[in-house]
Amino acid sequence: MSVFYITSAQCKGARAMIDMSRDKLAKAAGVAPRTLADFETGTRKPLKNNLLAIQAALEAAGVVFIEENGGGAGVRLRDRAD
């Protein structure tokens, strides 16, 4: 089983969908705000553990990430019944 890592576009889109600031996400993920800003602007890619923490924090806030499946990677909100 391969590990799926979110893209910077997915991260920005997810934050926008749930109206979460960079600072709030950085705190929830336990990463430096600069790490998150650099990731979202494409300046650098975070270490794997930081990237997974960012993804987990967004998922805990109600986001579902969609892997590249020929139609492009994406993001959506979790169904409230989940």
Q: Long-range contact list for 42-51, CB < 8 A, 24+ apart?
A: 42/8, 48/5, 51/5, 51/6
Give 81 or 63, the one with higher predicted confidence.
Answer: 63
CB 10 within 8 Å of CB 74? yes
Q: Which pLDDT value is given to residue 2? A: 55
CB 31 within 8 Å of CB 48? no
Q: What is the model's pTM?
A: 0.88
Residue 53 has pLDDT above 90, yes or no: yes
71 — pLDDT class (breaks 50, 70, 90): confident
Domain boundaries, the chain: 8-77
Q: Which class would CATH give 8-77?
A: mainly alpha
Per-residue pLDDT tens over the stretch 9-49? 999 999 999 999 999 999 999 999 999 999 999 999 999 99
